Chain A
Amino acid sequence: MNVLVILIPAALFLGLLGLGAFLWSLRAGQYDDLDGAANRILFDDDDETTPRR
């Protein structure tokens, strides 16, 4: 059962990583424009007027 000492922290760490990623994406406004983002990939102009985020 000693393997639990490694496995449980590893599982929790991965879970926390996912939670952290979600909270970050929420804060960074990834969900602000769900419809637009889906279409944006189809635009073929890639100039530098719109700053990268």
Chain B
Amino acid sequence: MARTPIAAALVKAGANDGAADNAVAYVRKEPGDCASLHLVVENMHCGGCVNAIERTLKGVEGVVEVRANLTTKRLFLRWSRALVDASTLIAAIAGCGYRAAPFDPYRLVSDRDDENKRLLRAMAVAGFAAANVMLLSVAVWSGGDGMEPVTRAFFHWLSALIALPAVAYAGQPFFRSAFAALRSRALNMDVPISLAVLLASGMSLFITMRGGEDAYFDAAVALLFFLLIGRYLDRRMRAKACSAAEQLMILRAVAATVIGSDGMTRTMPIQAVMPGMRVAVAAGDRIPVDGCVRAGQTEIDASLITGESLPASAGIGDQVFAGSINLAAPIEIETMAADSESLLAEIVGLMEAAEQGRARYVRLADRFARLYAPVVHFLAAATFLGWFAVVGVTWDAALMNAVAVLIITCPCALGLAVPVVQVVASGRLFKNGVLLKSPDGLERLAEVDMIVFDKTGTLTMGRPVLTNKAEVSPTSLRLAASLARASRHPLSRALVEAAGIGPAARDVEEAPGFGLRAMIDGHDVRLGSAAWCGMTTSTLPSPDSGSMLWLKRDGVAPVCFRFEDELRPDAVDVVRSLRSQGLEIALLSGDRLEAVAPVAAALCIDDWRGECRPNDKVGRLEALAAEGRKVLMVGDGLNDAPALAAAFVSASPSTAADVSQTAADFVFQGDGLGSLLDAFAVARLSRRLVLQNFGLALAYNTVAVPLAVVGLVTPLIAAIAMSSSSLIVTLNSMRLKLTDRDAKR
């Protein structure tokens, strides 16, 4: 069977993760001599990048077409197969410093694009009709009594000719949704909207046929136009949020190097890798599929999977998970069936269960609509009955007043209130490095009263840093670093970083899981675990933990290097500032207790737990939810993914595992946690603006509705009231932009 999309998402291609090999599997052969390939270029940020990439590739012989899209960060390539191949082109892109990863455009669900375009077309038609009908209506209004009935009738007929087809076409999104709601015996905002539009156009047609004075064609189409603007903005924001996340993660196609029974290797998309196949994983690569090690001995960095900050060794028979990094030596793994008892299967199961709970949240606007729609219907019906039965006018006059009520109460302002705030807010967050992924994430964030952090990679940088540099002599450090330069092990890298620029030792041997050795000036020099350096437990000064390295030279006492996973630079400040805002802070980590305790102490977090399995984290979050807490979960590891999905709202850093980023509502970039504070500020501000907008809309209704009920509303008043309330709400929402500018000053 094929791998699940989540398994595919688990593997994140980095700078050296064999992008060229991956790409070969996704090249499309075209008629003639050509081939084409779609790539995602992650770090293409500006026009200069586009220019550099296009210019470089155009310079390569055999390239037929290069087109970079800055908005979607995609690159389309077409080339002549006889002259050049995919890996050369990708190497050329890498040569100018860009990371390109292939993706499969045919897996892209284009429904969303289609729906977007359909809304945009409907909006264009409604806009055209609104402008032209308004042109005719203004003539009728300003003509007043001086206008001959024949001319007026002619204008009304012309309006009908424009408005009716426009309503039939542009109203469809609302009619369809209202029909679906009614069929499931529910009411949504689209029911009164559809009623108002259909009744207004129907009644106006009736009046036009009888040669009457007041026709509401302009109101009907203007209503549709305003509402379609709101709906399009809402839609576009959701699509943008989803696509940004999806394109960079789920759609990033990844390939595996499969070893055939004849011993030949070939590259194939991981969806095509079957259980039982053997996959080769080079040192430094991410493991593409779940499996069992069948050949080789290595060390695996599973920090994204389990939250453990230190690498673990893996040998024949050990299980390894997609997404972890093979640090030391090449291995061969045998793919497991996806439904086996793997950690991944457990996490996927937990996530699915958690997401079902999440779906219960009802957005502010919908909560409002639930109250609003019945009231509107009741008012309109009461107006009709009041005029028809009590006052005793003809049925069509009574119906006309009821239609006026429907038009006046129609939630134009409401339909715009939320989307405009959302668009402005997400734009502002995006500029500050926070990607809003779920459309209602901001609303939920504003209600949060407690934050649960993960440790590794969230509060900490997720990589070890040398802590006892002062105790070690510079000579030892330089010697150790010269060996460490040959290794990709996280501790070696930390050592090199601490030592700075220096020479690299020659002919360094690496024994996976133990350490490094080299002959320097005729001496045997070893760097690695205590056992590797020939020490027994009795000779050790302190209990040996994984976060130590030893340097041993012939005849010299061994030197110890200690490492710790360092806190993010602004973690202390951010946690303090969040606490001062009245938020409670807790820590849930999958790491060892003795690694969690110092972090909790440094941040003054009393409520902390270590050695949590994924289901422990979910259980804790559910317990908190049962107490009525609204929890923001911040985490990065695969082991946090179920907890991220289970929390009231969730955030993860952009270094997180792909599944976690997919599960999170917010993704923040950069080394700091400061953007969390910003997200909180924006969320609260937009909630306030949305509530203000609701208030404005209500105030407008309390003035206009009585006028409509007593029959004082003419088409002119309806048109003015509708446009002005929409304008006021939109302008109020734009204030979010102003506060951003103030903050920058």
Given A11-B132, A36-B47, A36-B70, is A47 in contact with B117 using a C-beta cutoff of 8 Å? no
Residues of A within 8 A of B131 (CB): 15
* Interface residue A3 (Cβ < 8 Å from any Cβ of B): no
A45 to B121, CA, bound (A): 35
Say whether A33 contacts B70, CB under 8 Å: yes
Say whether B70 contacts A39, CB under 8 Å: yes
Say whether A15 contacts B66, CB under 8 Å: no
Residues of B within 8 A of A19 (CB): 124-125, 128
B:121-170 near A, CB below 8 Å = 121, 124-125, 128, 131-132, 135, 151, 154, 158, 162
Residues of A within 8 A of B718 (CB): none
A36 to B730, CA, bound (A): 28
Chain A's closest residue to B158 (CB) is A8
Chain A's closest residue to B131 (CB) is A15
Given A8-B158, A47-B58, A50-B65, is A26 in contact with B117 using a C-beta cutoff of 8 Å? yes
Given A1-B151, A33-B70, is A15 in contact with B65 using a C-beta cutoff of 8 Å? no
Say whether A36 contacts B50, CB under 8 Å: yes
A43 to B50, CA, bound (A): 9
Say whether B66 contacts A50, CB under 8 Å: yes
A1 to B65, CA, bound (A): 58
A18 CB contact (under 8 Å) in B48, B69, B128, B135: B128
* Interface residue A6 (Cβ < 8 Å from any Cβ of B): no
Chain A's closest residue to B150 (CB) is A1
CB distance from B557 to the nearest CB of A (A): 60
* Interface residue B702 (Cβ < 8 Å from any Cβ of A): no
Say whether A32 contacts B69, CB under 8 Å: yes
CB distance from A11 to the nearest CB of B (A): 6
Residues of B within 8 A of A40 (CB): 47, 50
B:99-138 near A, CB below 8 Å = 117, 120-121, 124-125, 128, 131-132, 135
A51 to B65, CA, bound (A): 7
Residues of B within 8 A of A36 (CB): 47, 50, 68-71
Residues of B within 8 A of A51 (CB): 65
Say whether A50 contacts B67, CB under 8 Å: yes
Chain B's closest residue to A37 (CB) is B70
Say whether A39 contacts B47, CB under 8 Å: yes
Residues of A within 8 A of B470 (CB): none
A35 to B124, CA, bound (A): 22
* Interface residue B46 (Cβ < 8 Å from any Cβ of A): yes
CB distance from A30 to the nearest CB of B (A): 12
A52 to B162, CA, bound (A): 37
A11 to B139, CA, bound (A): 14
A 9-52 binary contact with B (CB < 8 Å = 1; else 0): 00110011011001100100000111110111011010101110
How many residues of A sit at the interface, in one of the four size bands?
Answer: 20 to 34
Residues of A within 8 A of B120 (CB): 26
B71 CB contact (under 8 Å) in A16, A18, A35, A49: A35
Say whether B128 contacts A38, CB under 8 Å: no
A51 to B158, CA, bound (A): 45
Say whether B63 contacts A43, CB under 8 Å: no
B:62-85 near A, CB below 8 Å = 63-72
Say whether A49 contacts B46, CB under 8 Å: no
Residues of B within 8 A of A16 (CB): 128
Given A23-B124, A26-B117, A45-B55, is A32 in contact with B71 using a C-beta cutoff of 8 Å? yes
A45 to B120, CA, bound (A): 34
A47 to B50, CA, bound (A): 15
Residues of B within 8 A of A15 (CB): 128, 131-132
Say whether B70 contacts A26, CB under 8 Å: no
A9 to B69, CA, bound (A): 41
* Interface residue B51 (Cβ < 8 Å from any Cβ of A): yes
A50 to B58, CA, bound (A): 9
A2 to B65, CA, bound (A): 57
Residues of A within 8 A of B51 (CB): 39, 42-43
B135 CB contact (under 8 Å) in A1, A11, A33: A11
Chain B's closest residue to A53 (CB) is B67
Chain A's closest residue to B68 (CB) is A36
Chain B's closest residue to A19 (CB) is B128
Say whether B50 contacts A49, CB under 8 Å: no
A32 to B70, CA, bound (A): 10
A32 to B128, CA, bound (A): 23
A32 to B58, CA, bound (A): 22
* Interface residue B54 (Cβ < 8 Å from any Cβ of A): yes
CB distance from B628 to the nearest CB of A (A): 44
A3 to B425, CA, bound (A): 50
A38 to B319, CA, bound (A): 50
CB distance from A38 to the nearest CB of B (A): 7
Residues of B within 8 A of A38 (CB): 47
18 extra interchain contacts, Cβ-Cβ under 8 A, other than A4-B151, A47-B58?
A1-B151, A15-B132, A19-B124, A19-B125, A23-B124, A26-B117, A32-B71, A34-B71, A35-B70, A36-B47, A39-B51, A40-B47, A42-B51, A45-B58, A49-B58, A49-B63, A49-B65, A49-B66
- Report B's interface with A, CB cutoff 8 A: 46-48, 50-51, 54-55, 58, 63-72, 117, 120-121, 124-125, 128, 131-132, 135, 151, 154, 158, 162
Top 4 A-B pairs, shortest CB-CB distance: A39-B47, A36-B70, A19-B128, A35-B70
22 contacts between A and B (CB under 8 A): A4-B154, A8-B158, A11-B132, A12-B162, A15-B128, A15-B131, A15-B132, A22-B124, A26-B117, A32-B71, A32-B72, A36-B50, A36-B69, A36-B71, A39-B51, A40-B47, A42-B47, A43-B54, A49-B58, A50-B58, A50-B65, A50-B67
